Amino acid sequence: MAHLRGKVKFNWLVVIFVLLATVTPGAAEKGNSVSQIEGQNSTTLSEWANQGYDIIPGVEQKLTPNLFHTTGGTLLSGLEERKGYDHVVLRLNAGDSFEVDYSAPAKGLYTFYFDYYLLDSGLSPNQYRVEINGSLPNAQIGRVDLLASWQNETYPFPRDRYGNEVIPTQKKMDQWQTGMLTDPVRLETQPLAIPLEAGKNHIKVTLMSGSILSGDMTISSVEMPVPYNEYRKSAPDTATPAFLWVHEAEETYYKNDNTINPVVNRALEARPYDTNRLLLNTLGGTTWKQSGQAVYYEVEVPHDGNYQIGIKYSQDLKPNSVVFRTFTIDGKVPFREMGSYPFSYQSGWKTEILSGPEGAYQFHLTKGKHLIGIIADASPYRGTIETLKRAMGQINDLTLQIRKLVGPEVDALRDFTITDNLPNLQSDLLKLANDLQKEYEKAVQLNSGQANSQGIITLETAIRSLKNLAAEPNKIPQRLSQLNEGTGSVTQSISLAMQEFQNQPLLIDQIYLFTPGEKLPDYGTTILQQWTEGFKRFFHSFFPVQKMEGEDSKTIQVWVNRPRNYIDLMQRKADEEFTPKTGIKVNFTMMPNEQRLILANASGTAPDIALGISNWLPYELGVRGAALDLNQFPDFKERTADFSPGAFLPFIVNDQVYAMPETQDFYVLFYRKDILNSLKLPIPDTWQDVKELLPEMQRYGMSFYIPLAGSGGMKPLMSTSPFIYQSGGDLYADHAFKAGLDSEKSLSGIRLMTELFTLYGLPMQVPNFFEHFRDGTIPMGVSNFATYVQLQIAAPELDGEWGIALSPGIRQNGETVRWQTGSAQAAMIFKSTKHPEASWEFLKWWESRETQSSFGIQMQSLYGKEYMWNTANLKAFQDLPWPEEDKKVILEQWKWLREVPKTPGSYYIERELSNIWTHVVLDGKNLRATVEDSVNVMNKEIARKMEEFGYLKNGKVVRPYRVPTLEEVESWVRR
């Protein structure tokens, strides 16, 4: 029954293996590239002990940079250059390394830390790699993070004009920091240990990304925190004068991740409280859930003595779950119990005084400043997560073996007896279920005996289905999707459970440091208070929102089609940077629906400027006389130098230009490095290459994606026009008075875009390319910015396993022509504006390199990678904290950016082109005949529209129409 097909089969297996292996979600949600080391478990101290490496106490050896042998790095000694460090430092860029020899007093375990100073923005990860005596003794030290420290630029928080607090700009602290050997997924509370031999050891540190200054390296002993009773005994039991320190949690001293944000909590119990305004009065929540994210608070302690710590918290984001936090004092975990301290599920607000079975913990603090750190912590689940990961690997192997036996297409009606070939199948599955059962019990115990948290329930489901599958092993071939890959499959449940265990969200409001017996602030509320507050808010909602400052007629009104948090930052930037410089006040308003612009224009209430609007709208408004011609400003043309010429095409009507591009999309080729490598597939350069790759990919059940498959019934021009432009055709003929689809060149483009489906079998409908790309069924495809961001943030398991390349094109005259569109959002000024000069002034400021790049950086530092800003200003784009290699590809693709110029009848060409695709691909009609019919219809509609706009009268051209060309835009300014 197992029919093997020799070599082909072998390739096939590799693919499946890769496929399955990559479904595994990564441990870290953070953008660290951890996948290389993911499969391997960390080596525990006891395992090291078995190999003869014990902790060597009492070591503290400082090694200064002048002892380092560096490759690529430079020693700096100037005071300015060493940023205040007290002696010579070593500057390292990505790829540089230094080596140092250390003679250890004995064979055993050590750790090290070194001083560093980040030279770049800190937004993209800085990582280094450590090799000991030429090898990696512990896979985790292959990628160690150098974190930045982030501070709020202002506290108290800035307010918007309605009196609501907004998240302040995050700034990186320019300071020397100490980098411990932390594990990349941050599942360990302690620094990693490295094994050293007695005598000379060779340590090599390579910086993998970013650029830093490196100071002293210190080799030290691994220090384990003592248990509380020992800690307590060692601290003197002095009488401490009464002290109470109440601190708002949102006022952090610094944090190691810029995306831990203050959040608005409107509960009556939260402090500070305001009935009507939105205050950022609490910290964390969903923004503080990844293991390793830390916040630090500084406290001035008045006397030596013993203090207690209290945290006012709420944990309603993970129902029925216990979450963990590790506490440090001055960078060290004071005693063992402070590692992974549990916080129980709590839907309201509650004060937790850190305490153990014998009562509240006493922290011994000396007089002076101390730093309290609170670190999100999933380390209690480390073992569970590792077991789950291993289980997924085993299931993948099993699936592979079964696939090997039964082939890719399983006949539903056939009876298999795979137990002949896989006699251990049943016992393997049961053993797996058993292993998971043990982890389940551990997890329940960690969750203080409650078995009703999301993660635990999902794990239970996985165990149950495993047992079900094991009961009838010969039915498994037909039920393979229940084991692997399918929705609700065992592997999916396991990976869900894993993610659940990793998430540790906690919302905190206040921190207390106090001497025993102090009374903590009371925040209980009565029902009466709640009703009164509710009534007050309800009453308040009938009044217009009070603005902080009066508005006069000199203010420019800007409507923005973007979410609130964009507008908050835009307003702040304009108030801080633009208004002081020019004296022009700007008022931003959120516009949820851009159709409102047309209605507003009809009723005479249009704003001065609209931002974030679709790129077709300026033309529609412009051609009907509602948009201001930007070309009338003498400095307009020079302002276009920073932009892609092709992006202006849709905004031009004859000599008028009605908008500027604001953001820009890119269509590039996404590919899975792992799958391509194992299949030995090249990255396609042309569509011909894609066609040649397809049979090979399809043999493994894989396919290729193009945006045509992603859109629904209507195939927009952005997905159809590239084929026509790439093959040298044009959508228009006869100065846009005719459609140009029936030219031979255009026809060959249309043929390509239909044949890919009819002859080469691309999937016609792929509603979610991202998911298919993730699970490996479509490992390659042309897609855009949205997919890029999704892959950046929502596919941690693929970190480092995917890449982008230039879009496939068509070879012409020895060059690959890769035209793609880049429709995104535009900015325009209305003709009805009373302040055209001021509006243009504003637009120039907003579209400038400085504003765009700082806006992009600030958005990303405030809200994380979800808010990557794809500015259309190419110069600004270069400044953004995106991965350098991706920026290079995108900028190169943008050289091939060509939007479709709009004409009065262009929407009809879009529509008929889509109909041609539908008729040819879905109805199987003849291409040439369909195109001819369509062109007739198009020409008729174009003539009608041209007549409407007065270019045509009774079939005669009365006014010429000029279709803008790339060359024309390029000629505006020297680039």
Partner 1 sequence: MEREARFKNWRKEGVAYLFLSPYILLFVIFIVLPVVLAILLSFTNFNAVQFPGWVGVKNYVDLITRDDVFMQYVLPNTFKFALIAGPVGYILSFLLAWMLAQIQKGPRTILALLLYSPSLTAGTAMSVVWTTLFNGDQSGYLNSLLMRFDLIQQPIQWLQSPQYLMPIMIIVTIWGSMGIGFLAMLAGVLNINSELYEAGYIDGISNRFQEIIYITIPSMKPQMLFGAVMAVVSTFQAGAIGVQLSGTNPTPAYAGQLIVNHIEDYGFIRYEMGYASAISVILLIFIWFSSKFVWKIFGEKE
User: Rounded distance, CA 793 to CA 91, Å?
Assistant: 31
Q: Which is nearer to partner 1, 19 or 378 (CB)?
A: 19
Which position among 20, 391, 395, 621 is part of the footprint of partner 1 (CB under 8 A)? 621
In the block, tokens 């590919």 appear at 671
Q: Which of 5-13, 382-390, 649-657, 760-768 is the region at the interface with partner 1 (rule: CB under 8 A)?
A: 760-768
864: left (phi over 0), alpha (psi -120 to 50) or beta: left
Pick from 944, 953, 959, 975 the residue near partner 1 by CB under 8 A: 944
Question: Which residues between 403 and 422 bind partner 1 (CB under 8 A)?
Answer: 412
Q: Which of residues 502-541 bind partner 1 (CB under 8 A)?
A: none
Is 766 an interacting residue with respect to partner 1 (CB under 8 A)?
Answer: yes
- Asked if 937 interacts with partner 1 (CB under 8 A), we say yes
- Point out which span in 69-77, 333-341, 640-648, 763-771 binds partner 1 (CB under 8 A): 763-771
Q: Does 940 engage in binding with partner 1 (CB under 8 A)? A: yes
Q: Are 192 and 138 in contact (CB under 8 A)?
A: yes
Candidates 280-288, 783-791, 816-824, 915-923; binding stretch for partner 1 (CB under 8 A) = 915-923
Nearer to partner 1, 7 or 956 (CB): 956
Q: For the chain, first and last CA: distance in Å? A: 67
Smallest gap, in angstroms, from Cβ of residue 905 to partner 1?
A: 9
Q: Segment near partner 1 (CB under 8 A), from 336-344, 496-504, 758-766, 847-855?
A: 758-766
In contact, 224 and 54? CB cutoff 8 Å: no
CA dihedral 58, 59, 60, 64 (to 10 degrees): 170
Cβ-based neighbours of 774, under 8 Å, separated by 6 or more = 23, 795, 797, 798
Query: Which is nearer to partner 1, 385 or 952 (by Cβ)?
Result: 952
Q: Which is nearer to partner 1, 865 or 925 (CB)?
A: 925
Position among 32, 915, 952, 963 found at the interface with partner 1 (CB under 8 A): 915
Q: Nearest approach, Cβ of 939 to partner 1 (angstroms)?
A: 12
472's CB contacts (< 8 A; 6+ apart) are none
Mapped onto helix, strand or coil, the DSSP state of residue 921 is: helix
User: Residue 280 and residue 444: Cα distance in Å, rounded?
Assistant: 35
Options 193-201, 616-624, 732-740, 966-974: segment touching partner 1 (CB under 8 A): 616-624
Could you tell me the smallest distance in angstroms from the CB atom of residue 711 to partner 1?
Answer: 8
Q: Which is nearer to partner 1, 87 or 944 (CB)?
A: 944
Smallest distance from the beta carbon of 44 to partner 1, in angstroms? 42
What is the amino acid identity at position 722? Answer: P
What 3 state SS string does 117-140 have?
Answer: EECCCCCCCEEEEEEECCECCCHH
Shortest reach from residue 700's CB to partner 1, in Å: 17
Considering only residues 451 through 480, tell me which ones interact with partner 1, judged by CB under 8 A. Answer: none
Site residue total, partner 1 (CB under 8 A): 32
Work out whether 765 is an interface residue with partner 1 (CB under 8 A): yes
Q: Does 79 bind partner 1 (CB under 8 A)?
A: no
Smallest separation (angstroms) from partner 1 to the CB of 603:
11
Q: Which stretch binds partner 1 (CB under 8 A): 9-17, 356-364, 864-872, 939-947?
A: 939-947
The secondary structure of residue 799, as a DSSP letter, is T
Contact pick of 454, 918, 965, 972 for partner 1 (by CB under 8 A): 918
CB 416, min distance to partner 1, A: 17
Please say which residue, 84 or 950, places its beta carbon nearer to partner 1.
950
Q: Note every long-range contact of 688-697, with CB atoms under 8 Å and residues 24 or more positions apart, other chains counting.
A: 688/810, 688/811, 689/808, 690/756, 690/808, 691/756, 691/760, 693/780, 694/760, 694/761, 694/762, 697/779, 697/780
| The two three-digit tokens of residue 776, written as one number | 């490996």
SS3 511: strand
Residue 890 phi, psi dihedral angles, 5° rounding: -65, -45
Helix, strand, coil percent content, the chain, rounded in steps of 5: 35, 25, 40
Nearer to partner 1, 64 or 918 (CB): 918
Helix (H, G, I), strand (E, B) or coil at 686: strand
In this complex, which beta carbon is closest to partner 1, that of residue 242 or of residue 922?
922
Q: How far apart are CA 539 and CA 949, in angstroms?
A: 52
CB-nearer residue toward partner 1: 652 or 766: 766
Cα(903)–Cα(946) distance, rounded to whole angstroms? Answer: 9
Q: Of these, 851, 911, 913, 939, which contacts partner 1 (CB under 8 A)?
A: 911
The structure tokens listed for 300 are: 């001035």
**Residues of span 16-75 touching partner 1 by CB under 8 A:** none
Nearer to partner 1, 569 or 626 (CB): 626
Residue of 30, 186, 751, 919 interacting with partner 1 (CB under 8 A): 919
- Which C-beta is closer to partner 1: that of 545 or that of 958? 958
Under the criterion CB under 8 A, does residue 774 sit at the interface with partner 1? no
Q: Under the phi-then-psi rule, with left for phi > 0, alpha for psi from -120 to 50, and beta for the rest, what region is 491? A: alpha
Name the one residue in this structure whose structure tokens are 């990961």: 389
Residue 182 makes contact with partner 1 by CB under 8 A: no
Q: Which of residues 84-123 bind partner 1 (CB under 8 A)?
A: none
Q: Which of 2, 4, 714, 958 binds partner 1 (CB under 8 A)?
A: 714
- Which positions from 590 through 609 interact with partner 1, judged by CB under 8 A? 595, 598-599, 601-602
Q: Is residue 81 helix, strand or coil?
A: coil
Cα angle: 132, vertex 133, 138; to 5 degrees: 35
Site for partner 1 in 625-654 (CB under 8 A): 625-626
Burial of 563-592, coded b for 16+ CB within 10 Å and e otherwise, reads eeebbbbbbbbbbeebeeeeebbbbbeebe
Query: CB of 768: closest distance to partner 1 in angstroms?
Result: 8
Is 929 a residue that touches partner 1 (CB under 8 A)?
no
Cα 52 to Cα 32: distance, rounded to the nearest angstrom: 32
Nearest to 573 by CA among 155, 838, 853: 853
- Is 1 a binder of partner 1 (CB under 8 A)? no
Q: Which is nearer to partner 1, 176 or 907 (CB)?
A: 907
Q: How far is CA 340 from CA 224, 381, 734, 848, in A?
A: 14, 10, 73, 48
Q: Does 907 bind partner 1 (CB under 8 A)?
A: yes
d(CA 881, CA 853): 9
Which DSSP state fits 168? P
Of the candidate spans 497-505, 647-655, 711-719, 874-882, the one that interacts with partner 1 by CB under 8 A turns out to be 711-719
Which residue, 263 or 829, has its beta carbon nearer to partner 1?
829
To partner 1, the closest distance from the beta carbon of 347 in angstroms equals: 29
Q: Measured from the CB atom, is 255 or 911 closer to partner 1?
A: 911
Residue from 241, 449, 580, 713 binding partner 1 (CB under 8 A): 713
Measured CA to CA, the distance from residue 633 to residue 524 in angstroms comes to: 62
CB 587 within 8 Å of CB 558: yes
Q: Which stretch binds partner 1 (CB under 8 A): 391-399, 505-513, 620-628, 685-693?
A: 620-628
State yes or no: residue 227 binds partner 1 (CB under 8 A).
Answer: no
> In Å, how far are 157, 178, 456 from 172, measured between CA atoms?
17, 15, 38
- Based on the shown chain and the rule CB under 8 A, indicate whether residue 764 belongs to the binding site for partner 1: yes
The yes or no reply on residue 923 touching partner 1 (CB under 8 A) is yes
Q: Report which DSSP code applies to 918.
A: I
Binding site for partner 1 (CB under 8 A): 412, 595, 598-599, 601-602, 620-621, 624-626, 712-714, 763-767, 907, 911, 914-915, 918-919, 922-923, 937, 940, 944-945, 948
